[in-house]
Chains A and B, each alone.
Chain A
């Protein structure tokens, strides 16, 4: 049981690290907290469900569709929302209110568009034969979702470290004012990172029915809470921290489900509390962020 819990926790954690990545990118560059993050994940999930149920589009194809669609939508959404926020005296606080409102609007639109019933994808789409590893069977859908998540984390890392926009984004994460003084296109970089962050959330959403069973309009709030806990555990503003935070979260949840199942929903809050008290800057802290 321990082996299974650990490996399932890693698979689960890699996915949740990927799910939280967009939230962390947006916070790192713009200092705004996207409380609607989970709702964009849910929208990605609905896109996959609708694409599969209406046209039998494989979720792996829906990943590309979600990325393109949500990058465009978020890029358009950026200009009326974010510049005003970042110019305010307290963008973090105002962003909470703004994105909470956006979250409520998206949830209401989900109810109108898709109803309240939970929606899911058949796990057999990803293969009906489980993966046999160390004497245990693991759902193929979980394995493929974790692989997709790892690839996307790698691609995001490459984007941040090997592209001009990525360099600029990391410079803005380090110090926005200095980046601006150096002549970097801060506004354009922010818009692109906002679009990429939402696009990544939607991509995670496409795979989410495989990991969390089903989605409904109210799922977003819980996912935002988990993503936020993961980001704080890893380190706010540090994308690598999301991966580490995701792993800590995933393994903790699976171990709790195995040994103290009644208490498993306490995990994100408990971890958050411990991190805030013991290492407020997160597990990776400032050292890595400034490296």
Chain B
């Protein structure tokens, strides 16, 4: 009985201790529009994951947003049409430690305590999923940087805009075309059970089935999965030609590590994040583990030619290196691109009310092309202008990565 008590007590107290890490309860309130004459700066509220499983992706995205704000402030601020003047940008950011629970209260805090003008979501679908209802309830437009889950975009919610990536349901379009074009009939798909990866799986399976191809293996695993050897063995039993893995960066790292150790070879192996974070993969699993595999290549691995708003890729890479000392990756670009969309919104909107901001986004949708591609949203706020091509990775022993496009860049 004593042991049982100890066990139960441990869990009760552990839950309480974990609870103490939360930043407190937020309260919901409806935002009010500040009188234009009183606005001396534009406050952007956002979250970042300073630790935990999403820190790898969240921090570079946040760095990109900060880089944009610094660039704008150096130029005297952002032009706000509603004020007919330039005003400085101030970023208010809290660390959600990769916890969706913590993020929920912090998003509320940004709205109701900090009274931010613009709300920007943290990286990815998991940490964005909790921002969507908070923003909608408070009637704040959520500038969604990279939370691409299809369920976030609904006809009745005007308070969301996806800035830097297409809706994840669209991601596998080019991948499906490529697989069908190569006449692969034996395809294995392993995906993480979260909005981002599940929606990719659903789209891919639907498109493959429409072409008469039923995957020989299609299983979901928890996002926390780090051991892939048994899963890879199960996949090998189905003798696939192509193996597709939809995961987050940590999943892709462990998957490619296990694949390399298994000694199995397939005509095609596809993972999501080597195209966005190539240096992470060359340093953690080695260049040979990603060489010859396929991915969705993203800037700066690829460049968009017709940039008409903000820096192009080469300008950004040079400026970012000069400002931060770091080599730019896609997530830096995604953060910077979010800043560009906010900048264009403020230049276009007739007032600082949230619905006016949202209508402004619809007005310039389809007219600008940034270093991240064409910015175009549908009526639900989902990004439809950008598409992700399929690319084959070449990585040499020195860790230099390049990509050969296998499907056209939009």
Contacts and interface: CB of A to CB of B under 8 A. Distances in A.
Contacts of B114: none
Given A119-B284, A214-B284, A264 B9 contact: no
Contacts of A117: 56, 280, 283-284
A134 interface: no
A213 B3 contact: no
B325 interface: no
B228 A213 contact: yes
Interface stretch (A40-48, A73-81, A275-283): A275-283
A1 B237 contact: yes
Contacts of B28: none
Interface string B318-345: 0000000000000000000000000000
Given A92-B6, A117-B283, A213-B228, A130 B53 contact: no
B280 A213 contact: no
B51 A108 contact: yes
A213 B6 contact: no
A152 B263 CA distance: 29
Contact of B3 (A137, A142, A216, A281): A281
Contacts of B36: none
A212 B230 CA distance: 12
B230 A4 contact: yes
A253 B239 CA distance: 23
Nearest to A250: B227
B30 interface: no
Q: Is chain A's binding surface mostly helix, strand, loop or mixed?
A: helix
Contacts of B220: 261-262
A167 to B, nearest CB: 23
Contacts of A258: 230, 234
A128 B261 CA distance: 7
A124 B261 contact: yes
A228 B9 CA distance: 13
A216 B229 contact: no
A264 B222 contact: yes
A116 B7 contact: no
B250 A257 contact: no
Interface in A1-60: 1, 4-5, 8-9, 12, 33, 35
B219 A213 contact: no
Given A4-B233, A12-B227, A261 B221 contact: yes
A139 B258 CA distance: 9
Which of B55, B226, B254 is packed against the most chain A CB atoms within 10 Å? Answer: B226
Interface stretch (B10-18, B65-73, B305-313, B372-380): B10-18
B257 A120 contact: yes
A217 interface: yes
A218 B52 contact: yes
Contacts of A175: none
Nearest to A129: B263
B124 interface: no
A272 B249 CA distance: 30
Contact of A213 (B50, B227, B262): B227
Given A118-B284, A123-B261, A212 B227 contact: yes
Contacts of A137: 262-263
B397 interface: no
B13 A93 contact: yes
A48 to B, nearest CB: 14
B32 interface: no
B233 to A, nearest CB: 5
Contact of B51 (A4, A218, A228): A218
Given A118-B253, A212-B254, A214-B254, A8 B229 contact: yes
Contacts of B14: 35, 96, 100
Contact of B231 (A123, A214, A261): A261
A118 B231 CA distance: 21
A1 B228 CA distance: 14
A232 interface: yes
A123 B260 contact: yes
Interface string A81-124: 00000000000110011001000100110010000111110111
B98 to A, nearest CB: 7
Contacts of B253: 118, 120, 213-214
Contacts of B237: 1
Contacts of B6: 33, 92, 236
B285 interface: yes
Contacts of B55: 111, 116, 216-218
A158 interface: no
| Most central of A8, A116, A124 by chain B CB within 10 Å | A116
Given A139-B261, A280-B4, A118 B233 contact: no
A290 interface: no
A163 interface: no
B10 A276 contact: no
A251 B10 CA distance: 25
A211 interface: yes
A188 interface: no
Interface string B37-70: 0000000000000111101100100000000000
A80 B285 CA distance: 40
Contact of B10 (A33, A118, A217): A33
B224 interface: yes
A108 B51 CA distance: 8
A158 B239 CA distance: 46
Contacts of A281: 3-4
The 8 A-B residue pairs whose C-beta atoms are closest, nearest first, are: A213-B254, A116-B55, A280-B4, A265-B222, A123-B261, A262-B220, A218-B52, A212-B226
Given A1-B237, A96-B14, A139-B229, 8 more contacts: A1-B233, A92-B6, A96-B13, A123-B260, A130-B261, A213-B257, A218-B51, A261-B231
23 contacts: A1-B237, A33-B10, A35-B14, A97-B17, A107-B51, A116-B52, A117-B283, A117-B284, A118-B254, A130-B262, A137-B262, A139-B261, A212-B254, A213-B258, A214-B253, A217-B55, A218-B52, A218-B53, A236-B3, A236-B7, A253-B227, A257-B221, A262-B220
Interface of A: 1, 4-5, 8-9, 12, 33, 35, 92-93, 96-97, 100, 104, 107-108, 111, 116-120, 122-124, 128-130, 136-137, 139, 141-142, 211-214, 216-219, 222, 228, 232, 236, 253-254, 257-258, 261-265, 272, 276, 280-282
